[in-house]
């Protein structure tokens, strides 16, 4: 096929639209030529989004079938947060962008917005009816992947001009990389990192060319306005791309320094523009309940290498490194292609291998994750390697690889698949992708060189269709395979609750909601761990990486169930906790599955008064005494418990007043409990306080427990017997002495107390960092509390996320810098014209 030198016309570009105008002073291209430059990005978008949707259809996944698509955190976090965004935009939210009253008894929302809703496509959720928000969340995935592919196509064209259909197909290889299909396909905010990398690559090229500095700055800001976690990884990759280009471009030393300065300035200014979001999120992360992330352990070499084979889905925390066979075959020819300058080949190849090796070396792996121990899959940065592979593939293709080199690369791919066929993670679709996909890719790459004149004009379109088709088909199979294998993992069981059931649940909550007169609890988790946010309730249910440690320390001692090391809290059907947190309505499942019943009951206001300190007479280390200390009244009897039976079947017995209500709390016990003919699952700390029912007339309760681990015990004080009469009296007293008026704004709360009130005003809100009140707060079991003013003035508190004020100041300064950089050249030109 011949070689092409860097200074000669590239025959691959025959019939392609012209490259974009590389700099100022050039004649602006006519509109038809500029529109022709969109062919490649549009093709990449169509292949990418089309292949992913085709995989949905093959799997019969929603919306193409009944199979659920909301796996793991998509069901528990992302869909509920998008429903919260819908409520915020449509005026139904209890809160605003800074704070939400729906979940965790009031929590910050700005960091959650930046992390979980930063993908700009997330705003599609507000354009559909609330009952179809889950569909909008699913649509975000192919749109984001397609956009990433389109931007990568544009970036490839800046590195080297070439045929639009070839660039578009390789851009799709990036958008459909293994990381996108296996790791990020159900995580909308991670996918923005897939977009951020080519965005930052384009910004790097502009800085190298000495033009469009404001545009480069805005691209950095756009990359960082989404999920900062993957944006950080994409920025690290962009620094690497900058270094490579500085080493391989023909530039003087002064030009290199100027380009480096422009890039550093664009990065600093662009990131500063996002500080109003970024800084509060960073500080909220520091104040969050810590998790016990395990130290990084590299996977075995065979599993690591198997991750580079196409259509392979690796279990658990494994690296997904592959792109379609077309990209792998072309990348394999890069180092052999003598049409590319030797220095360029050496630098790009060395950089790609170093990136690959960095994934297995703990210090560099921590560097990719911002020097934090990865929680979950530690190989979240592997899309960077896929981008490098696609870049090598494009540079090789644009320099016309020889058929022999293509054949050698394809043979190497087959040999690698044969050598790794015994790996545990070798996918069932890997052989078809390697053999059929590889063969068809090889054919598509060699077809244009087989004809001359009119024959070539026929073969080029055939090659284009074949190349795009093989990437589409192979990626569709890879996506369907990844989804099928992931669905078999225990942690990824998709949510199957129907939209109709969720809507009925939501309407039941709305039917009894009277915020802020009282809170409404949506009941035990039915659709997600964030049911309060998803269903418009104000209960404790909350799941976020930013749940404050202060909230954990307030709710855990009271018997609320939790998991994920305390970053996920559940509700508790316990009337004492209802009284403490002003819960005056609850929704429960109806007799018919998919239906819901709601009930109202008396509850104190959100702000109550404690006239004097209180100490429970019950055992201080029991959850029931801790509840009473916060309530300010004795409402339980905590009896001694007799234990019998064996290590695998224990019986707990206790004497209580007939007619009282028995409750159970065993945070270290997993198994089943039977009391009064009712069976209940015990899931340790997840279960929290569990109701056992009324105490029979003979005054003895018996609980038969089958622990999952032989020898496990329930602790010293698992049983508490609630006297409803005493509790009702306590509720009436708190209501009579509590606030006569409570006004809750988006991130504020104000209360007017009865005349003559003295003591401590207790807000039914956890004392999370960020509250600023009309008086210095007092310590009160982790809740927000203020001294009652002597003059009877209203009490007020406002929530401002830490870091918001300095973030806004830095963002404003960055905006002024960007504005000045944008206007200065224009003003200089106007002065020059006037002088002329």
Percent of the chain at pLDDT exceeding 70: 93
Distance between CA atoms of residues 172 and 158, nearest Å: 17
Quick check: 426 pLDDT over 90? no
- Is the residue at 605 inside a domain? no
CATH of the domain at 687: 2.60.40
Which residues on adjacent β-strands are paired with residue 828?
A: none
Query: Do residue 694 and residue 643 come from a single domain?
Result: yes
Q: What is the pLDDT of residue 551?
A: 97
Q: What is the pLDDT of residue 53?
A: 94
Which residues on adjacent β-strands are paired with residue 172?
A: none
- Is the residue at 780 inside a domain? yes
Distance between CA atoms of residues 401 and 82, nearest Å: 47
> Among 229-233, 285-289, 330-334, 375-379, whose mean pLDDT is lowest?
375-379
Q: How many CB atoms within 10 Å of residue 750?
A: 17
Distance between CA atoms of residues 734 and 728, nearest Å: 10
Distance between CA atoms of residues 809 and 379, nearest Å: 35
Give the residue carrying structure tokens 């990865």. 374
What mean pLDDT do residues 231-238 have? 95
> Among 177-191, 311-325, 463-477, 716-730, whose mean pLDDT is lowest?
311-325
- Is the residue at 777 inside a domain? yes
- Sign of the torsion formed by the C-alpha atoms of 798, 802, 808 and 809: positive
Binning pLDDT at 50, 70 and 90, where does residue 32 land? low
Q: What is the pLDDT of residue 295?
A: 79
Distance between CA atoms of residues 687 and 672, nearest Å: 11
Q: What is the pLDDT of residue 499?
A: 72
- Is the residue at 580 inside a domain? no
Task: Please give the residue that has the higher pLDDT: either 778 or 452.
Answer: 778
Quick check: 832 pLDDT over 70? yes
Binning pLDDT at 50, 70 and 90, where does residue 22 land? very low
Q: In sequence order, which residues have a C-beta less than 8 Å from that of residue 697 and are 6 or more positions away?
A: 658, 659
Q: What is the pLDDT of residue 254?
A: 93
Binning pLDDT at 50, 70 and 90, where does residue 436 land? very high
Q: Do residues 441 and 467 make contact, with C-beta atoms less than 8 angstroms apart? A: yes
Distance between CA atoms of residues 616 and 634, nearest Å: 6
Distance between CA atoms of residues 598 and 590, nearest Å: 9
- Is the residue at 476 inside a domain? no
- Is the residue at 704 inside a domain? yes
Q: What is the pLDDT of residue 25?
A: 43
Q: What is the pLDDT of residue 584?
A: 97
Phi, then psi, of 394 in degrees rounded to 5:
-70, -45
Task: Please give the residue that has the higher pLDDT: either 33 or 788.
Answer: 788
Model confidence pLDDT, tens digit, residues 48-67? 999 999 998 988 877 787 77
> Among 29-33, 342-346, 673-677, whose mean pLDDT is lowest?
29-33
Phi, then psi, of 777 in degrees rounded to 5:
-65, 150
Q: SS3 of 150, please?
A: helix
Binning pLDDT at 50, 70 and 90, where does residue 429 land? confident
Query: Do residue 749 and residue 709 come from a single domain?
Result: no
Which residues on adjacent β-strands are paired with residue 654?
A: 701
> Among 13-17, 42-46, 741-745, whose mean pLDDT is lowest?
13-17
Binning pLDDT at 50, 70 and 90, where does residue 658 land? very high
Distance between CA atoms of residues 123 and 82, nearest Å: 8
Binning pLDDT at 50, 70 and 90, where does residue 13 land? very low
Binning pLDDT at 50, 70 and 90, where does residue 8 land? very low
Binning pLDDT at 50, 70 and 90, where does residue 590 land? confident
Q: What Cα–Cα distance (Å) separates residue 691 from each residue in 579, 603, 665, 695?
A: 16, 19, 9, 11
Q: What is the pLDDT of residue 315?
A: 63
Model confidence pLDDT, tens digit, residues 181-225? 988 888 889 999 999 999 999 999 999 999 999 999 999 999 999
Query: Do residue 642 and residue 691 come from a single domain?
Result: yes
Q: What is the 3-state secondary structure (H, E, C) of 536-585?
A: CCCCCCEECCCCEHHHHHHHHHHCCCEEHHHCEECCCCCHHHHHHCCEEE
Residue range(s) defining the domain that contains residue 791:
739-799
Strand-pair category, 690-694 with 661-664: antiparallel
Structural domains counted in the chain:
2
Q: What is the pLDDT of residue 20?
A: 43
- Is the residue at 7 inside a domain? no
Token digits of residue 560 = 């609320």
> Among 237-241, 418-422, 481-485, 660-664, whose mean pLDDT is lowest?
481-485
Q: What is the pTM of this model?
A: 0.92
> Among 81-95, 286-300, 544-558, whose mean pLDDT is lowest?
286-300
Task: Please give the residue that has the higher pLDDT: either 60 or 41.
Answer: 41
Task: Please give the residue that has the higher pLDDT: either 528 or 510.
Answer: 510
Distance between CA atoms of residues 189 and 176, nearest Å: 16
What mean pLDDT do residues 399-427 have? 91
Give the residue carrying structure tokens 């930052």. 200
Q: What is the pLDDT of residue 19?
A: 42
Q: Which of 722, 747, 765 is the last residue of a domain?
A: 722
Quick check: 474 pLDDT over 50? yes
Distance between CA atoms of residues 673 and 661, nearest Å: 17
Query: Do residue 646 and residue 717 come from a single domain?
Result: yes
Q: How many whole angstroms from its chain centre is CA 678?
A: 39
Quick check: 575 pLDDT over 70? yes
Q: Which of 696, 722, 748 is the last residue of a domain?
A: 722
- Is the residue at 659 inside a domain? yes
Q: What is the pLDDT of residue 493?
A: 57
- Round the average pLDDT of the chain to a whole number and report it: 90
Give the residue carrying structure tokens 């045929």. 163
Q: Do residues 502 and 483 make contact, with C-beta atoms less than 8 angstroms apart? A: no
Closest CA to 315 of 169, 440, 425, 464: 425
Q: What Cα–Cα distance (Å) separates residue 656 from each residue in 623, 646, 653?
A: 17, 24, 10
Binning pLDDT at 50, 70 and 90, where does residue 23 land? very low
Q: SS3 of 212, please?
A: coil
Q: Do residues 652 and 719 make contact, with C-beta atoms less than 8 angstroms apart? A: yes
> Among 205-214, 515-524, 651-660, 709-718, whose mean pLDDT is lowest?
709-718
Distance between CA atoms of residues 664 and 164, nearest Å: 67
Quick check: 18 pLDDT over 50? no
Quick check: 674 pLDDT over 50? yes
Query: Do residue 714 and residue 747 come from a single domain?
Result: no
């Amino acid at each position: 096929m011949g070689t092409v030198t860097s200074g000669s016309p590239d025959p691959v570009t025959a019939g392609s639209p012209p490259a974009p105008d590389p700099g100022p002073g050039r004649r602006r291209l006519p509109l038809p030529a500029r529109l022709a430059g969109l062919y490649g990005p549009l093709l990449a978008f169509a292949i990418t989004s089309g292949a992913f949707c085709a995989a949905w259809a093959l799997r019969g996944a929603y919306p193409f079938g009944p199979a659920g698509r909301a796996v793991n955190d998509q069901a528990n976090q992302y869909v509920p947060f998008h429903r919260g965004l819908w409520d915020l935009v449509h005026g139904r939210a209890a809160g605003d962008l800074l704070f939400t009253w729906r979940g965790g008894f009031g929590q910050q929302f700005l960091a959650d917005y930046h992390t979980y809703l930063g993908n700009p496509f997330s705003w599609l959720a507000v354009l559909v009816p609330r009952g179809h928000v889950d569909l909008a969340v699913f649509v975000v995935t192919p749109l984001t992947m397609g956009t990433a592919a389109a931007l990568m196509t544009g970036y490839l064209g800046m590195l080297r001009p070439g045929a639009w259909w070839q660039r578009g197909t390789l851009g799709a290889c990036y958008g459909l990389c293994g990381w996108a299909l296996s790791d990020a396909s159900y995580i909308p905010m991670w996918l923005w990192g897939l977009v951020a990398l080519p965005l930052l690559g384009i910004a790097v090229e502009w800085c190298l060319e000495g033009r469009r500095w404001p545009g480069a700055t805005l691209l950095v800001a756009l990359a960082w306005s989404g999920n900062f976690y993957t944006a950080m990884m994409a920025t690290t990759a962009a620094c690497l791309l900058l270094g490579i280009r500085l080493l391989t471009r023909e530039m003087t030393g002064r030009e290199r320094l100027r380009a480096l300065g422009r890039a550093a300035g664009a990065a600093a200014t662009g990131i500063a523009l996002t500080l109003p979001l970024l800084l509060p999120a960073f500080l909220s992360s520091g104040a969050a309940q810590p998790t016990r992330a395990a130290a990084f352990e590299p996977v075995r070499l065979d599993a690591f290498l198997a991750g580079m084979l196409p259509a392979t889905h690796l279990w658990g925390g494994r690296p997904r490194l592959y792109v379609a066979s077309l990209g792998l075959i072309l990348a394999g020819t890069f180092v052999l292609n003598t049409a590319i300058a030797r220095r360029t080949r050496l630098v790009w190849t060395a950089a790609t291998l170093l990136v690959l090796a960095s994934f297995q070396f703990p210090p560099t792996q921590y560097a990719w994750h911002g020097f934090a121990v990865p929680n979950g899959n530690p190989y979240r940065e592997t899309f960077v390697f896929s981008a490098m592979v696609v870049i090598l593939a494009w540079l090789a293709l644009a320099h016309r690889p020889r058929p022999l080199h293509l054949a050698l690369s394809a043979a190497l791919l087959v040999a690698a698949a044969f050598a790794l066929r015994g790996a545990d993670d070798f996918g069932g679709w890997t052989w078809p992708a390697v053999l059929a996909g590889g063969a068809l890719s090889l054919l598509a790459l060699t077809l244009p060189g087989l004809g001359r004149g009119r024959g070539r004009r026929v073969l080029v379109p055939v090659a284009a269709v074949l190349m795009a088709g093989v990437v589409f088909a192979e990626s569709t199979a890879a996506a369907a395979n990844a989804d099928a294998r992931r669905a078999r993992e225990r942690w990824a069981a998709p949510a199957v609750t129907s939209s109709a059931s969720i809507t009925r649940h939501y309407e039941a909550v709305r039917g009894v909601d009277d915020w802020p007169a009282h809170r409404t609890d949506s009941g035990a988790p039915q659709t997600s761990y964030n049911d309060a946010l998803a269903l418009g309730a104000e209960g404790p249910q909350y799941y976020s990486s930013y749940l404050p440690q202060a909230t954990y320390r307030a709710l855990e001692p009271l018997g609320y169930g939790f998991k994920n090391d305390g970053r996920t809290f559940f509700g508790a059907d316990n009337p004492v906790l209802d009284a403490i947190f002003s819960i005056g309505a609850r929704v429960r499942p109806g007799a018919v599955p998919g239906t819901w019943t709601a009930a109202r009951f008396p509850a104190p206001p959100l702000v109550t008064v404690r006239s004097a300190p209180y100490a429970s007479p019950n055992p201080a280390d029991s959850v029931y005494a801790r509840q009473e200390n916060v309530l300010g009244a004795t409402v339980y009897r905590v009896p001694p418990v007799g234990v019998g039976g064996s290590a695998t079947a224990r019986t707990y017995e206790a004497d209580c007043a007939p007619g009282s209500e028995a409750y159970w709390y065993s945070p270290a016990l997993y198994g089943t409990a039977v009391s009064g003919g009712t069976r209940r699952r015990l899931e340790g700390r997840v279960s929290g306080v569990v109701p056992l029912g009324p105490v029979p007339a003979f005054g003895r309760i018996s609980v038969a427990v089958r622990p999952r681990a032989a020898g496990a015990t329930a602790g010293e004080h698992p049983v508490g017997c609630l006297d409803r009469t005493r509790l009702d009296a306590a509720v009436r007293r708190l209501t009579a002495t509590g606030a006569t008026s409570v006004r809750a704004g988006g991130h504020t709360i104000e209360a007017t107390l009865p005349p003559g009130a003295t003591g401590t005003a207790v807000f039914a809100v956890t004392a999370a960092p960020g509250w600023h009140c009309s008086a210095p707060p007092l310590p009160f079991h982790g809740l927000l509390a203020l001294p009652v003013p002597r003059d009877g003035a209203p009490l007020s508190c406002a929530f401002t996320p830490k870091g918001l004020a300095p973030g806004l100041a830095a963002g404003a300064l960055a905006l002024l810098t960007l504005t000045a950089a944008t206007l200065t050249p224009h003003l200089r030109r106007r002065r020059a014209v006037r002088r002329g």
